[in-house]
Structure 1
Amino acid sequence: MSKKKNERQVQIRNILLKENRIKITDLAKQLNVTPETLRSDLNEMERQNIVVREHGYARMDNSLGELPVYLRSQEHPKEKKNIVFRAFQEIKDGQVVYLDSGSTIILGIQYIQTKKDLTIVTNSLPLALECAKMNLKIIFAGGDVLNEGLRCYGFFAEQIINRINVDVAILGSDGIVNCDGFTTNNVHEVGFKRHIINRSKKIITVCDRFKFQKEAPFIYCKFSEIDQLITNELTPQEYEKVKEIPSVIQIKAD
């Protein structure tokens, strides 16, 4: 997808998040694009279960599911980059590091260059590509590809993980509302993440504060199972929810 089209679809989603439902003709005027261009974008976004079109209107698809990675990476980028920068400080030179496929990590992946002689393990196609551009040593856990998240899971990916001793695993979460642990929107990822947890000496979860307002259906680990949470500055109520985690590092806003 071109950068321009990517940015336009992010705009469409932001407008629909605010308006919830809007006339397609009004949407085209706001974006200053032709009906043909907008129709192409909406067709693609409808296939990805991001929007629903009905009788000349477009609205958000509110069914529980996962947004494509290119859209998730546009959400709260500054907060996510600050979190990743701090998380990478926990990595020591020469370690084997698992990096999760979430949008938070990929936004700050350039900070990994401050470390030396790392072996990066990941199931994320975009992360593997970015690490390759930096000439890092990569072990890619390949398997079935989840197209929305551009990542792999399943038997083959798990078998690769089962043969690696991971020093530090950095994981993400899709939301923590109404649960006692970290979550994913995809049931197939639960088993894969459990293999990561079982093979890792230290487990860090990176989670921007907006995840405290989101819900996802599948818990891959309890709060008590991880060693450290790195997040943005929390309210007392938010901290109370995760206080059983041994180390909670809160990054204050600039």
Structure 2
Amino acid sequence: MSQKREERHHHLREILLRQGRTKIKDLAQQLSVTPETLRADLNVMEKAGLVIKEHGFARLKMGMVESPVAMRNQENQDEKRRAMSFALTLVHDGDVVFIDSGSTTLPGLPALVGKKDLIVVTNSLLIANECVKLDLKIVMIGGFVFNNGMRTYGNFATELIDHLQIDIAFLGTDGFKDSLGFTTCNENEMGLKRHLINRSKKLVVVCDESKFETKAPFSFCRFSEIDVLVTNKLSPEQRKTVGAVPTVYEID
């Protein structure tokens, strides 16, 4: 998918969030595209389970559905980059580093350039590709590929994790509003994340502040199970939410 189409899908989702059920011809006008282009975009998003088309209208599909990572990469880019760039300063020369899939972990990867003798482990096709560009040594976890997240999962992935000694793992989360811990939209992530929690010497969760207002159905760990949370500047109420995390870094 082209970057231009990814950006259009992101803006389309934002419009439907604000306006609710909207005429397709009105959406085309707001995005300055032809109705044919808009219908093609809606077909892709409908196939991904993000929107519903009905008699000349479109609306977001309700419920917790993971949007494609290419779309999420367009959201809160600066906040994600600053948080992940800081988080990666916690990496030492010679570390075995796990980097989770997701839109938060990808932008800060250039912060690893200059570190010596690293091994980067990941289940993300996008992160593996970016690490190759940065000339980093990669262990790519195999398994089934979840297309929306561009990541691998399943027994083949978790079995490999069990043969690694991971010094520091960087995990993402889909949101944790009204939760006792960090959560994910997909049950297929839970097994891998639990194996990582058991196999890693240090656990770091990285997220932008939007995750404080987002819910997801599956909890993969309690706040107290991780070592560090790196996020954006928090309100007093948000700090209270993650009070059980031993160390919290707030990045302006």
> In the alignment, what sits opposite 2:67?
67
Q: In the TM superposition, what is the alpha-carbon distance from 1:65 to its structure 2 partner?
A: 1.4
Q: Which amino acid aligns with 2:139?
A: I
Q: How does the TM-score come out when normalised to structure 2?
A: 0.97
* Contact 2:118-2:137 at 8 Å conserved across structures: yes
Q: What SS does structure 1 have at the residue aligned with 2:138? A: strand
- TM, length-normalised to structure 1: 0.97
Question: Share of identical aligned residues, percent?
Answer: 50
1:1-254 aligned at under 5 Å gives the runs 1-252=1-252
Contact 2:170 2:205 in 1 (8 A): yes
8 Å CA contact 2:121, 2:141 repeated in 1: yes
User: Is the CA contact 2:88–2:108 (under 8 Å) kept in the aligned structure 1?
Assistant: no
Q: Match of 1:65, SS?
A: coil
Q: Give the deviation of 1:241 after TM superposition.
A: 1.3
Between 1:7-16 and 1:174-183, the stretch displaced more is 7-16
Distance 2:20 2:112 in 1: 38
After alignment, is 10-19 or 151-160 more displaced?
10-19
Could you tell me how far apart the structure 1 residues matched to 2:116 and 2:173 are?
27
SS of the aligned residue for 1:116 comes to coil
1:181-230 per-position Cα deviation (integer Å, ceiling 9, x unaligned): 11111101111101111110000000111100000001101111000111
Deviation at 1:173, TM superposition (A): 0.7
Equivalent residues, number: 252
Amino acid at match of 1:205: V
Letter in 1 for 2:150: L
Aligned counterparts of 2:244 and 2:15: Cα–Cα separation in 1: 38
Q: Quick one: which amino acid aligns to residue 113 of structure 2?
A: Q
- What's the secondary structure of 1:205's corresponding residue? strand
Moved more, 29-38 or 151-160: 29-38
